[in-house]
Amino acid sequence: MSEIKETVVANNFIKNIIDEDLKNNKNDSRVHTRFPPEPNGYLHIGHAKSICLNFGLGKEYNGITNLRFDDTNPVKEDVEYVDSIMEDVKWLGFDWEDRLFYASDYFDKLYDFAIELINLGLAYVCEQTPEEIRQFRGTLTEPGKPSPYRDRTIAENLDLFGRMKNGEFPDGTKTLRAKIDMSSPNINMRDPVVYRIKKAHHHRTGDKWCIYPMYDYTHCLSDMLEGITHSICTLEFEDHRPLYDWFLDVLKTPCHPQQIEFARLNINYTVLSKRKLLQLVQENFVNGWDDPRMPTISGFRRRGYTPAAIRDFADRIGVTKGESTVDYSVLEFCIREDLNKTALRAMAVVNPLKVTIENYPDDLKDDILDGVNNPENPEAGTRKIKFSKVIYVERDDFMEDPPKKFFRLAPGKEVRLRYAYFITCKEVIKDENGEVIELICTYDPASRGGNSPDGRKVQGTIHWVSAEYGKTAELRLYENLFLTENPDIAPEGKTFLDNMNPDSLKVIQAWVEPSLLEAKTNDKFQFERVGYFCADSKDSQPGAPVFNRTVGLRDSWAKIAKK
Ligand code: ATP
Ligand code: MG
């Protein structure tokens, strides 16, 4: 975690609230936040926003931040998810130190609080079915009706709740409900369920419990037990805040965290719902949670995104109360900004066209040139690249009949080969179908290193790989997983799955500099003029590298080629 630069959370309304609290010496001037994932899936870029916000505020205010697994739903949760979440938070550069908690650690205390609620006459055991509960709850315009079990005596409630805990009743036959107000304009306050019966094995508490507390009840009390000061969550919980406060108020808890809501992150051309991401994994639309096309943190890591770039992204998009969708290009911009500074340069030819240099001596061996590893970082040094009489260039870098502004290879035109020589195209060789299969060029030996020998200018510089010394490598080229900006919107009878891009993965063999065969997994490169790539963490092997395209380069030559 030493590489983490100081995370500064841009000014936002939450910081204004904290500043005000500190001014008033609220919470003894402590700032204590938490990140509370439910371990029912892998983390995605939306969670990264929440992580950067919570841990960022902790850091900035000299406070602390807990990691708490909100594990109250035994059926959907799994240790695989717990482990992946810890790995992802660490990878993003954050540290919960010794403050790793589980809501399930509080099950005993939560049970005691429930007993207290019953004793206060503020909770009752209800025997309505989920359907009846729904019917009695009313609507936004109609008040609810009280459950027939609402007025049981305290003794009766204590007895029944104890027997619920002891496993005497089947799943779904009884619940414990808070007794609040069936005609509250806020539906969340119409006697919400606090406990339900679920005879399921829990990944941490095993078979100890067959009743499990509900989210709203668990969350505020867990925050309170940990001494959280600012409990930051997404906007959909705004209407739950009165309930959050109600539990803490009636139980007269010694500490009362403040819930603050912000707008969740949405990005176009992707989905950020764990349920949908799980479906993509389970139904094999992608190759696992860490498929490089997934918007998960593990997918991004495998694709070559960096923690610094994701933190930068979180800073740039800011924190507001207004729902909005961020353009995917903002994320890609942040990735490029970081990789431009750190990724080593190399040459790879994606769509090769053979070039024979006719005046290059047949017997010239060991013509070794120097390539700059990173023009942005002199310390990255140089590498040796062997030249040869036959090379490959990018097919797109040649046009037989070029438009005016095409500065690359064309009959009679001279270009610079990166780090090597000026070459001039003399002859175009075609196959029987008229397709160009080879160019015959001449080179100027005096331009060695790519320097002009006499001040004459060439307008284009293109990349190349030696046919003699170069190697092949697998490149995985990714496009958006979805074709529509908002994949959640699907026509009648269709789902988000119908919006998937069938061509989101293209696998090709490219010619690469021989040094790339030694790439270690996760090594990041800029293949000059082609894009940023990262050696795949699962499938790349020494001698048989596999590179994921992290992000393309933003450059004008690609646009010209398209015209
Ligand atoms: P689901 O995807 O099923 O709605 P969830 O994303 O809410 O679930 P949690 O594990 O409960 O899953 O999320 C942990 C924390 O991350 C919560 O505080 C939640 O508010 C926050 N979070 C989740 N999604 C986003 C998002 N898109 N943008 C910002 N924060 C998010
Ligand atoms: Mg949630």
Whole-number Å distance between alpha carbons of 8 and 550:
26
Q: What is the pLDDT of residues 95-106, one digit of tens each?
A: 999 999 999 999
Percent of residues in the chain assigned helix, strand, coil, to nearest 5: 30, 25, 45
Residue nearest to atom 9 of ligand 1 (CA): 37
pLDDT at 37: 98
Token match 């290193």: residue?
449
Q: Where does a domain end: 204, 230, 262?
A: 262
Instruction: State the burial class of residue 316 (Cβ atoms within 10 Å of its Cβ: 0-12, 13-18, 19+).
Output: middle
| Strand ranges for 431-487 from DSSP E | 436-444, 461-462, 464-466, 471-478
Residue ranges in 284-355 assigned as alpha helix (H) = 297-303, 307-317, 328-342
Q: Where does a domain end: 262, 292, 323?
A: 262
CA of 37 to the centre of ligand 2 (A): 7
* Smallest-distance ligand from the CA of 39: 1
* Entry pTM: 0.93
Q: What is the pLDDT of residues 486-531, one digit of tens each?
A: 999 999 999 999 999 999 999 999 999 999 999 999 999 999 999 9
Q: Are 234 and 251 contained in the same domain?
A: yes
> What three-state secondary structure class fits 243?
helix
Whole-number Å distance between alpha carbons of 83 and 288:
15
> Does residue 441 sit within a domain?
yes
* Predicted confidence band of residue 129 (pLDDT cuts 50, 70, 90): very high
Residue nearest to atom 18 of ligand 1 (CA): 233
CA of 501 to the centre of ligand 1 (A): 25
Q: What is the pLDDT of residues 193-208, one digit of tens each?
A: 999 999 999 999 999 9
Whole-number Å distance between alpha carbons of 504 and 483:
9
Q: What is the pLDDT of residues 527-553, one digit of tens each?
A: 999 999 999 999 999 999 999 999 999
> Does residue 493 sit within a domain?
no
Nearest in space to 32 (alpha carbons), one of 255, 344, 263, 353: 255
Q: Are 111 and 96 contained in the same domain?
A: yes
Ligand 1 contact, 36 CB (< 6 A): yes
Q: Are 187 and 302 contained in the same domain?
A: no
Q: Are 76 and 147 contained in the same domain?
A: yes
pLDDT mean over 431-444: 98
> Does residue 488 sit within a domain?
no
Question: In CATH, what number is assigned to the domain containing residue 390?
Answer: 2.40.240.10
| Segment holding 417, helix H or strand E | strand 414-417
* Predicted confidence band of residue 10 (pLDDT cuts 50, 70, 90): low
* Predicted confidence band of residue 41 (pLDDT cuts 50, 70, 90): very high
Nearest in space to 32 (alpha carbons), one of 93, 78, 96, 88: 96
> The dihedral of CA 494, 499, 502, 504: what is its sign?
negative
- Kindly list the catalytic residues: 38, 264, 274
pLDDT mean over 341-348: 97
- Report residue 483 as tokens: 């074709």
* Predicted confidence band of residue 9 (pLDDT cuts 50, 70, 90): low
Q: Which is the closest atom of ligand 1 to the Cα of 41?
A: 10
Say if CB 545 and CB 525 are below 8 A apart. no
- Report residue 268 as tokens: 């176009």
CA of 15 to the centre of ligand 1 (A): 20
Q: What is the pLDDT of residues 174-231, one digit of tens each?
A: 999 999 999 999 999 999 999 999 999 999 999 999 999 999 999 999 999 999 999 9
Tell me the sheet residues that pair with 416. 422, 461
Ligand 1 contact, 317 CB (< 6 A): no
Q: Are 6 and 77 contained in the same domain?
A: yes
Residue nearest to atom 15 of ligand 1 (CA): 37
> Does residue 445 sit within a domain?
yes
Ligand 1 contact, 37 CB (< 6 A): yes
Question: In CATH, what number is assigned to the domain containing residue 295?
Answer: 1.10.1160.10
* Predicted confidence band of residue 77 (pLDDT cuts 50, 70, 90): confident
What is each CA distance from 458 to 412, 414, 420, 465, 560, in whole angstroms?
A: 12, 6, 13, 20, 18
pLDDT mean over 284-311: 98
Q: What percent of the chain has pLDDT over 90?
A: 94
Q: Are 335 and 401 contained in the same domain?
A: no
What is each CA distance from 190 to 133, 177, 224, 314, 559, in whole angstroms?
A: 10, 9, 23, 37, 59
Q: Rg of the Cα trace of the chain?
A: 31
Could you tell which of 42, 50, 240, 277 is best to mutate to test the pocket of ligand 1, judged by most ligand atoms within 8 Å of the CB? Answer: 50
Counting the structural domains of the chain, the total is 3
Ligand 1 contact, 275 CB (< 6 A): yes
pLDDT mean over 343-368: 96
Ligand 1 contact, 385 CB (< 6 A): no
> Does residue 490 sit within a domain?
no
Say if CB 303 and CB 548 are below 8 A apart. yes
pLDDT mean over 403-424: 96
Please count the CA atoms within 13 angstroms of the CA of 54 that sit on its side-chain side. Answer: 31
pLDDT at 562: 42
* Predicted confidence band of residue 323 (pLDDT cuts 50, 70, 90): confident
Torsion, Cα 539 544 549 552, to 10 degrees, reads: 170
Please count the CA atoms within 13 angstroms of the CA of 461 that sit on its side-chain side. Answer: 13
Q: Are 357 and 425 contained in the same domain?
A: yes
Whole-number Å distance between alpha carbons of 51 and 314:
9
Q: Are 110 and 200 contained in the same domain?
A: yes
Q: Are 421 and 398 contained in the same domain?
A: yes
* Predicted confidence band of residue 409 (pLDDT cuts 50, 70, 90): very high
Q: Are 396 and 330 contained in the same domain?
A: no
* Predicted confidence band of residue 239 (pLDDT cuts 50, 70, 90): very high
Q: Does pLDDT of 563 surpass 60?
A: no
Token match 């810890």: residue?
86
Q: What is the pLDDT of residues 254-293, one digit of tens each?
A: 999 999 999 999 999 999 999 999 999 999 999 999 999 9
Say if CB 124 and CB 133 are below 8 A apart. no
> Does residue 372 sit within a domain?
yes
Q: Where does a domain end: 262, 288, 308?
A: 262
* Smallest-distance ligand from the CA of 76: 1
> Does residue 189 sit within a domain?
yes
* Predicted confidence band of residue 456 (pLDDT cuts 50, 70, 90): very high
Q: Are 286 and 390 contained in the same domain?
A: no
Q: Are 252 and 307 contained in the same domain?
A: no
> What three-state secondary structure class fits 92?
coil
Nearest in space to 329 (alpha carbons), one of 554, 508, 484: 554
For residue 530, the one-letter residue type is V
- Residue 374: CB atoms within 10 A of its CB come to 18
* Predicted confidence band of residue 3 (pLDDT cuts 50, 70, 90): very low
Give the residue numbers spanning the domain of 525.
Answer: 344-470+513-562
Question: In CATH, what number is assigned to the domain containing residue 67?
Answer: 3.40.50.620
> Does residue 435 sit within a domain?
yes
Residue nearest to atom 26 of ligand 1 (CA): 46
Q: Does pLDDT of 108 surpass 70?
A: yes
pLDDT mean over 106-112: 98
- Report residue 318 as tokens: 């800011």
